[in-house]
Amino acid sequence: RVQNNFSNRAKARLALERKSAFKSVLENPFRVKWPSVPVNLQNLCLARLLTCLKPLPRRRSGKVRTSAAFMSTQSTPQPDGGGEPHRQECTLQIADLASPSLALVFGINQITRALERLIRSARRLTTVNAPGQPAISQEPCSELGVVFACAGDVNPPILVEHIPHLVASYNSLSIAKGESTTKVKLVPLPKGSESVLARALGLRTAAVIGIHKNHPILASIRDILDSIPDLVAPWLSSSESSQRQLIPTHIKQLRTSIPKDIKAAKEQRFRARKESKPKIQPSQLPSRKSRLILTS
């Protein structure tokens, strides 16, 4: 695989004076890559996710928008003359879908904060009190079950490059504690998914979506998630088997350019550096004052 690195200062007129060259560089072994998911599986996951998101209330500017059917049923009284109980029942149904325990997380910043909270909670901070009093442990936070990322639609891609690292860090901590069932799945969606998901949710953008483990949507896509590999960081795991694991050396070829005539390029650079230096006239030199030193 050839990595291209074009300089922002490159000029088109210098293209004929330079030639392509390849430079061997070592790949960073601590870089966590996105999981390899086939395109057909990504499309299936997107279609299943859109089907599950249709019954949910759409959001506009942070508010839940109720449909016209709900408004008509809300104003229609019951046959026995009591319209209030029916209104309370519909309100409870929407509240159950949008409750904090069954919430969906949208946005890069919100997903980042949620993953950071998971990593902090995985440390199991415990406060030791005086003798005879029980220790106070940290309350477990609501855990994410899966994170869907439209990595192909994010420009620049560096905005979401930290998400695989956060997911791998939490999964490695869970494995080190022996809690393999609490791992988070990271699912990359095909290019063009962000606009489709944003339209389905009534949002302006939906680059990253997180679903909690106790959300009913997770049960409908469980069969797809089982075929997606887990992201882990082997250097963060404290188990003996992971310490013996060695990462193979990977040398990448970086495409760059060099002058066709290296000697002429050095001479031209030397002349340009010499001409850029300011020339000082002899009259501008500071006058030196002679001093007489008397010694005894």
- Note whether 219 and 155 are within 8 A (CB): no
Q: What CATH number belongs to 30-52+105-122+143-250?
A: 3.30.1330.30
Cβ atoms of 6 and 254 closer than 8 Å: no
Is residue 258 within 8 A of residue 191, CB to CB? The reply is no
The model's pLDDT over 116-153, given as tens digits with 9 standing for 90+, comes to: 998 888 776 545 555 555 545 454 456 788 999 999 89
Could you state, in order of their start, the residue ranges of all structural domains in the chain?
Answer: 30-52+105-122+143-250
Using one digit for the tens of pLDDT, what is the confidence trace for 16-31? 588 888 989 888 878 8
pTM for the model: 0.61
DSSP strands (E only) in 72-215: 104-106, 126-127, 136-137, 144-149, 185-188, 208-212
Mean pLDDT of the region 150-164 = 91
Rounded to an integer, the average pLDDT of 64-77 is 41
Cα(157)–Cα(291) distance, integer angstroms: 67
H or E element, residue 259: strand 251-259
CB atoms within 10 A of CB 86: 14
3-class SS at 252? strand
Residue 196, classed as helix, strand or coil, is helix
